[in-house]
Amino acid sequence: MKVEILSEKENPLLKRRQFEVKITQDTVTPSIDEIRQKISVTKEIGKGTIIIGSFKSKYGSKETIGTVKVYETKERAMEIEPRHRLIKNGLIEVEGKEKPKEEAPAEAAKEAPKEKPAEEPKPDKKEEKKPEEPKEAKEETKPDEKEEKKPEEVKAEKPAEEPKEEKKGE
């Protein structure tokens, strides 16, 4: 992965530096952590002060272009950046977030044996089944093939509807 800084802007009001970065990757688009690591090595900055903005890749291209913000302190970044971006960059943890998938199956396996002894054995379904009738008896009770009705017969069967205005008045 090769990192090239296209532009650099100093923002003294927010106490940060803003970069437009072009990343040339060999295989897949790099993750946020990989980008933060590479920029921290390139600019000799601590990872805690780097905030990755948006990165866009063009289809079929091995280049990704995006924005990076480097704050003077981590506390300053926490004050200015929106919460979702801090979560995305790993600076804060989400409360009530489910545990990673790797840990979840292990916990489920521990809890599963506790539930099994509490269950009562179910009665066999074979005993509850009624004796089956012979197939010949079932075939006799089936109705004959459906007779197709002609459109004239269908119209004759429908009762004439009364006008709706009369029903509302009553």
**Closest listed residue to residue 9, CA positions, set 66, 63, 68:** 68
* Sheet bearing 50-57, strands edge to edge: 2-11, 16-24, 63-71, 50-57
Contact at 8 Å (CB) between 70 and 16? yes
Determine, yes or no, domain membership for 58.
Answer: yes
Using CA atoms, how far residue 75 sits from 15, 49, 93, 130, in Å, is 11, 9, 15, 74
> What CATH number is given to the structural domain containing 45?
3.30.70.3370
Determine, yes or no, domain membership for 118.
Answer: no
Determine, yes or no, domain membership for 153.
Answer: no
pLDDT tens digits in sequence order for the chain, 170 residues long = 898 999 999 999 999 999 999 999 888 888 888 888 988 888 888 888 899 999 998 888 899 999 999 999 889 999 999 999 999 888 888 877 665 555 545 444 455 455 545 556 565 555 555 556 555 555 555 555 555 656 665 555 655 555 565 555 54
Q: Which domain holds residue 16?
A: 2-88
pTM for this model (two decimals):
0.52
